[in-house]
Amino acid sequence: MKIVYSVLLMMLSLLIGFQQAMIVVHFKLNRDAIEQRFCINKNNPELQCHGTCHLKKQLRETENSASSIIRTHLKIDIFPASFTALELKNPIMDIQGKTSIHKEPLYTPPYREIFVPPPIG
């Protein structure tokens, strides 16, 4: 069931991301029908619009709706976190007299800096 939900959410996020591309593909496939039904410049053939006015209008609407949705949410910085516990497989114990000394391997924190190569030119 988890796989079904994850695939569904992945497909929905991809559809949202490619929304404008889908509008352009729909326009290319149905250019003649869109030109006949929705074109504002049908009476001005010298403009050679062929329905691009409707395409621009739709792209502006999706851009405005996407930007308004983004503006309503707060900006959240995402920090990847790992919830795995550190497990010591071979603890080394030294017994000296009555006291025991526990030795752990040296811990190094994870490297979080991203390497950016120098520009080419």
Question: pLDDT for 45-76, tens place per residue?
Answer: 777 888 888 888 888 888 877 665 555 555 66
**Of 55, 60, 48, 47, the residue nearest 31 (C-alpha):** 55
Residue 120, number of CB atoms within 10 A of its CB: 4
Residue 50 lies in a domain: yes
Does position 97 have pLDDT exceeding 60, yes or no?
no
- Tally of domains in the chain: 1
**For 74-92, how does the pLDDT look when each residue is reduced to its tens digit (9 = 90+)?**
566 666 666 666 666 655 5
Residue 102 lies in a domain: no
Residue 119 lies in a domain: no
Q: Tell me, what's the pLDDT at 57?
A: 87
Single pTM value for the model: 0.45
Residue 55 lies in a domain: yes
User: How many residues are listed for the chain in this entry?
Assistant: 121
Residue 24, number of CB atoms within 10 A of its CB: 13
Phi-psi label, residue 95: left if phi above 0, alpha if psi -120 to 50, beta otherwise: beta
Task: For residue 50, give its domain range.
Answer: 7-72
Residue 42 lies in a domain: yes
**Of 32, 20, 14, the residue nearest 59 (C-alpha):** 20
Tokens 């707060």: give the residue: 74
Q: Angle at the Cα of 37 (from 34 to 42), degrees rounded to 5?
A: 95
Residue 120 lies in a domain: no
Amino acid found at 83:
F
Residue 110 structure tokens: 């994870």
- Greatest C-alpha distance within the chain: 102
Residue 64 lies in a domain: yes
Residue 87 lies in a domain: no
